[in-house]
Structure 1
Amino acid sequence: MTSSDRRPLSNILVPALLFVAVFTLYAATAAPATLFGDPSEYQFIPAIAGIAHPPGYTFYTLLAKLWQTLAPFGAIAFRTNLLAAAVGAWTVIAVYLITSDLSASHLTFDVSRFTFYASLLAALCLAAAPDFWQHSIHANAHIVSAALAATHMWLLIRWRRTDNDCWLAVFALTLGLAAAHHPVTLIGVPAYGLFVLTARPRILRQWRTLLLLLGCLLLGLSPLLYYPLRSPSAPFGPTDMRTWEGFWGHITARGLRVNLFHFGLADQLDRALVFWSLLRLQFPLPVIILIAAGLILICSFILIHLLFTLNTVQDVMAYLLLPFVALSIAAGLGALAIAELELPNPKSPIAHCALCIVHCSLLILPFYQATLNLTRGISLRDFTVAEEYVTAVYERFAGRGEGAVLLSDWEHLTPLWVHAYTQGETLDKDDVQLVYVSTANPWVESVWAHIEQGDIYLPDYRPAVRDAGFRLLPEGPFYRVIAPPLTDTAPTHSLDVWADGRVHILGYDLPADTVQAGEHLELILYQSAPQPLDGIWMPYAQLGPAQARWTTDSRLLTTQWLPGEVVAERYELPIPFTLPPGEYPLRLGYADLSGGREELELSTGGATLELETVTVLPPAN
């Protein structure tokens, strides 16, 4: 087989092997099930053919629905997480192909022999970038935005290289799909237009080509018809998208526009410094130097996206995916630029060997970054917190007929919706009613609206509810909202200890007496004061050499206690990663923060009281 025969095979085989390798890496570190917040929404919305939060992500919804139908991998939640892995892997391949095509178009033969190394470097740098990796291991629409942007660049460069309008037609089609996905994917349109006009200035006079592009663009926009067709009967999402106001307001995310271009000219230097710190987290310093060397060819695309993203308040890391894609390409081009600069005698075997060594050495950098990511815990493979919360909700409320009310923010509701919509695990309203709390329905107003309906629970501590005069009683992972005074609760472990003769320590709950280093130990204390306190007193805890001096955040301060009421507070003791495994005594003390007394005398004698022994296990990673 000749060299010319082998080249087409390698052009297919290398990207295919790279896709398999990257997909395997992402799939191995992907979340196994639900997560809090938007990722879970991106799991159940396609499954029920609903409509996601603005701007709706219709292309993602249809793509994920197709993937969920065809991919035979586990439950819907995990299956959709794998879609992110597949899309992320394709984006890495697109970067490889873009760098290869740019190299073939602009470099000499003597340098183009290093195209493979440079293209592989660009692809691996993106694959190992923490922001990109994180978005490739859980369900989200933003990784699709990055994939569409990379696909746009590849199609345009392939069109420029081959002068075949079929590539330009496919570009127009994917541009329409991008518009049906998220407006952020259209920020590169000025750069795309400049590229097309520079490559073929006469295209404005080629009306047949323009009509072809318009037809492909309209075909790409066709997923937007999903909204008016589905909206009236959608099981989740807005129902008014058959009206122009409802349709346009949703796809342009009208309610979220306050987050865009939030910063002024005076803030741009600070925003640039923020971007520099984020860039250092994504790429090793030598790669950033290569990026600087390769920026010229794609600077317009990057600058437009950066100006938008760095002046946005919400989802900055998600929107930075698109510039990071372009910067990875720049890193590959920078590696080739080094080859051009350092080949004064391209036929010299010594120069050729030296460049091979340099490029092979550069390939170590993304592997170093990937290793660093894994040691820092980038993997979501063992993330089960959201599933544990769902289990806790069902164990606490299902089948009990209490008629309770669980007020929840978006983050805590979406995992429950995944189970309800995709697994048929619905909660009976006779057991518990789920109430969505938002800026339109704040926490305190929601409490008052349901106070006569039954016991009200919160998924976490809410100072606004406490400040409204209610007490928050810890119950498992929840807090029960109670009108003061609380007098009828009892701890698991009773105590009769006084701190400085004024605070009565009634007992404690210790949900677990075994904890891994790097996690936290939960302790619930029951306290009371027979007389009002005019100072802020706080407990503290010691576990062997580790000590937690708790702050006043998310606490009912002693100055707010009613005489004689029982105050139950949940405290967390962080366990250092460096704490050796073993058994340690858990000790409790009290401090007068207002009076500057770090240790108060306890009625048992001394400044601390031993509660029980806690076993510390080695850290998970």
Structure 2
Amino acid sequence: ACIAAGALGVGATFWAQSTTANIRSLTALFTALCVTLLLRWGHTRRWRGLALAAAAFGLGVGHHSSLGLLALPFLAYVVVTDPRLIRRPREWLPAAGALGATFLVLLYLPLRSAMGTPFDPAPIRTIDDFLEHVLATGFRGDMLYYRTVTDLVARGRVGAQILRLQFGPIVLTAAGAAVVRLAVHPPCGHHRRALLLLGGAWLVNVLAALTYRAPQTVEYLIPSYVALALLLGLGLGMAPSGTRARALRAGVVGVLAVAVATTGARNLPSMRALSADHTTRDGAAGLLEAAPEGALILADWHHATPLWYLQRVEGLRPDVAVEYVYPEGATPNEAVWLRRIDEAIDRRPVLVTNRFLAFAHTDYRWIPFQGAWLVAEGQGSPSLADLPEGVTPREVPFGDELALLGYRLAADTVAPGGTVELEVHWRVLRSPTHDYTAFAQLLGPQGVVGQGDLPHPTTRYLPGEVRVDAYRFPLLLHTPPGEYRLITGFYHATDNGWTRLPAPEADHAALATITVLPADAPPATRHPLDHAFAGGLRLVGVDYDASVPGQGRVYLHWQRDGLAPLDRGPWRASSEAATVRAVRNGQAVAQAA
């Protein structure tokens, strides 16, 4: 039991969710509670146990409707456990009544909505409103969104990678062995029925999560994590017969204990970093404090909740309205956002936390604003007359059509895998002859290590108009420490490729120097290693990339343990860069420094 609970608890997603206020932790709780009560009923066959399980399931569905899909394995378990239960209404009617009674809790929604309660983005005034909210019909277009063979194969790979990252290969192998043991040689019929319950819950949840269109797949899979952990615990708990079997079981438990501890140690640095991360609050507070008076902020759920918290709990900017833009069935999300913008833009300033590709084809202007975008009407809208506070002036003309005005760099230091955040202000000098794409690059001795590109319909822009581009691009994980140049510019497509607009000294403008720091955390790798080399170097992982046709890329992850004990003599650390060579049949086929 401790091994199974530990494997679940130190998994990255479960660990992160369990330390914050969110809906996912309770989905895990209700899943475990329902399964536990059903297994107990399977032992006792008492009607009270079935009624308790039904009540727990009803409360779980009321909490999050996605748990309703688990009715399939739950009912299958009940039918297989007691096929004649349907003939004894006195035993199942109390369960049906308990299930129905839990839905009375939902009456809280229209009652509180009528009172004008906070956090009520879609007021419930009619029966249709109530049914739409309870049945989550607004999300029906997202269910079974990925259903083609190609989609299912790709999503299956995503699911396999998620499970590997959550539990690690050793725990997954042990869970698979437990499933085989329960299916082939169960100690008793109850264990096989338990496999039906737990395996069915795992399968239904995985299929639902992988075919659902949402970015939070790792969170929607939490019920499957619970089922997998319970399967592992059930398999480990089966009493072995014989001295050798007991010794083998003890060895397996020991190996799993080490695997679970290793996973926890691997995730601990990330969890420590997350516990000290206040970027969500800082970003929400900055947006609220800078928002125009009486503005409307259209936000997705992850942005709306911290904004609401700051308003309701800390009383920050009550004059600003924050509205959650929720999915509306099969209507594309970008269409929903644009409709909400159209409805409000004539009455008050509008800011949006999300920017979709479809927005580029509208007549609105999208001005970066404290991590969001201020929506301005038409190409002839008033431009920014002066550079905002915190923007570094940098005037560079690009031909006679465009000119750089200045930039704002969030930080001049970044670690490999980190994100460069840059804001670039530029002006249209005269009507452009091409639709240009703005770019920003971070350059080092070995070329580009990070880049962002933002296409613009510049032929529609008016002379004198000021534009602001917001870049957020990651650095390559293997970027060496050192000084790097940040540049920006413009280019357009040609028959032979692309051409950059000329600047006075080059085809770009230099902005700043960014220092790339040494990585301060072990790299994420599919193939962890631990091979020590001379000079304090240690090979800690390797990854392979065959995504480019005709090329094979090998990424070696190195870690320096420290300098040698002596700084003189033949043992001193070399100041020269180490060279790594790939050798085949005694011949060097590739090398990197």
Name the TM-score, length of structure 2 as normaliser: 0.69
Q: In 2, distance between residues paired with 1:191 and 1:465? A: 43
Alpha carbons 2:236, 2:249 under 8 Å: kept: no
For the residue of structure 2 that corresponds to 1:424, the secondary structure is: coil
Alignment of 1:49-448 (within 5 A): 119-162=1-44, 166-200=48-82, 203-204=85-86, 206-235=88-117, 236-237=119-120, 238-240=122-124, 244-264=127-147, 266=149, 272-295=156-179, 296=183, 297=192, 298=195, 299-314=199-214, 316-335=217-236, 340=240, 346-347=242-243, 352-375=246-269, 380-397=274-291, 402-428=293-319, 432-434=320-322, 442-448=336-342
The 1:535–1:141 alpha-carbon spacing in structure 2 relative to 1, beyond 3 Å, is closer
Offset of residue 216 of structure 1: 3.9
Offset of residue 371 of structure 1: 2.8
For the residue of structure 1 that corresponds to 2:255, the secondary structure is: helix
1:484 to 360, 366, 379: 379
Q: In 2, distance between residues paired with 1:436 and 1:158? A: 42
Alpha carbons 2:440, 2:453 under 8 Å: kept: no
Offset of residue 154 of structure 1: 1.3
Write the letter of the residue equivalent to 1:533: T
Write the letter of the residue equivalent to 2:55: L
Offset of residue 146 of structure 1: 2.5
Q: In 2, distance between residues paired with 1:355 and 1:180? A: 41
Alignment of 1:512-523 (within 5 A): 512-517=410-415, 518-523=418-423
Q: In 2, distance between residues paired with 1:282 and 1:322? A: 13
Pairing 1:505–2:387 present: no
For the residue of structure 2 that corresponds to 1:523, the secondary structure is: strand
Q: In 2, distance between residues paired with 1:608 and 1:322? A: 51
| Bigger mean CA offset, 144-153 vs 447-456 | 447-456
Q: In 1, distance between residues paired with 2:324 and 2:57? A: 36
RMSD: 3.8
Q: Deviations over 1:240-276 (max 9, x none)?
A: 46x5444333222223223223455856556544433
**Identity over aligned pairs, percent:** 26
Q: In 2, distance between residues paired with 1:445 and 1:264? A: 29
Alpha carbons 1:233, 1:239 under 8 Å: kept: no
For the residue of structure 2 that corresponds to 1:534, the secondary structure is: coil
For the residue of structure 1 that corresponds to 2:286, the secondary structure is: helix
For the residue of structure 1 that corresponds to 2:403, the secondary structure is: strand
Q: In 2, distance between residues paired with 1:447 and 1:194? A: 47
The 1:535–1:420 alpha-carbon spacing in structure 2 relative to 1, beyond 3 Å, is closer
Q: Name whichever structure is richer in helix by fraction.
A: 1
Offset of residue 360 of structure 1: 0.7
User: RCO (CA 8 Å, sep 6+): is it higher in 1 or 2?
Assistant: 1
Offset of residue 149 of structure 1: 1.9
Aligned residue number for residue 534 of structure 2: none
The 1:513–1:205 alpha-carbon spacing in structure 2 relative to 1, beyond 3 Å, is closer
| Bigger mean CA offset, 162-171 vs 382-391 | 162-171
Offset of residue 526 of structure 1: 1.6
Question: Which runs of no fewer than 5 residues in structure 2 stay unpaired?
Answer: 184-191, 329-334, 522-593
Q: In 1, distance between residues paired with 2:384 and 2:131? A: 54
Aligned residue number for residue 468 of structure 2: 568
Write the letter of the residue equivalent to 1:326: A
2:432 to 532, 544, 553: 532
Q: In 2, distance between residues paired with 1:254 and 1:511? A: 43
Offset of residue 290 of structure 1: 2.3
Alignment of 1:7-18 (within 5 A): none
Write the letter of the residue equivalent to 2:309: V
Alpha carbons 1:405, 1:453 under 8 Å: kept: no
For the residue of structure 1 that corresponds to 2:462, the secondary structure is: coil
Write the letter of the residue equivalent to 1:484: Q
Q: In 1, distance between residues paired with 2:323 and 2:72? A: 44
Alpha carbons 1:513, 1:615 under 8 Å: kept: no
Q: Deviations over 1:87-112 (max 9, x none)?
A: xxxxxxxxxxxxxxxxxxxxxxxxxx
Counting matched residue pairs gives 486
